[in-house]
Amino acid sequence: MASLTHLLAATAIGAWLSVSAHSWRRLPRPQDEPLVHAPGPDPDRILVVGSGAVVGYGVLSYDLSVSGQLARLVAAETGRGVDLRVVADPDLDVVTARTELRALTLDSFDVIVITVGSLDALQLLPRRVWGEQLDLLLDSLRTGPGQSVLLMGIPQLTELVALPRPYRGAVARRVRALNDESAQRAAPRPGVTFVPFSPPPVDLLQNASREVHTVWARIIAPTVIAALSS
**What digits encode the pLDDT tens for the residues 33-85?**
999 999 999 999 999 999 999 999 999 999 999 999 999 999 999 999 999 99
- Lowest mean per-residue pLDDT among 1-5, 59-63, 219-223: 1-5
pLDDT of 4 reads 75
pLDDT of 175 reads 98
Please give the C-alpha separations between residue 216 and each of 41, 64, 97, 228, in angstroms, as whole numbers.
26, 12, 21, 19
Residue type at 105 in one-letter notation: T
Q: Domain-by-domain residue ranges, the chain?
A: 2-229
CA distance linking residue 77 with residue 110, whole number of Å: 16
Going by pLDDT thresholds of 50, 70 and 90, the confidence category of residue 148 is very high
CA distance linking residue 193 with residue 228, whole number of Å: 13
Q: Is the pLDDT of residue 109 over 80?
A: yes
pLDDT of 10 reads 84
**Phi and psi angles of residue 86, each rounded to the nearest 5 degrees, phi first:** -115, 130
Instruction: For residues 208-226, give the mean pLDDT.
Output: 96
Average pLDDT value over all residues in the chain: 94
CA distance linking residue 87 with residue 109, whole number of Å: 13
| Domain at 2-229, CATH from 1.10.150.120, 3.30.70.20, 3.30.530.20, 3.40.50.1110 | 3.40.50.1110
Going by pLDDT thresholds of 50, 70 and 90, the confidence category of residue 16 is confident
Q: Is the pLDDT of residue 164 over 90?
A: no
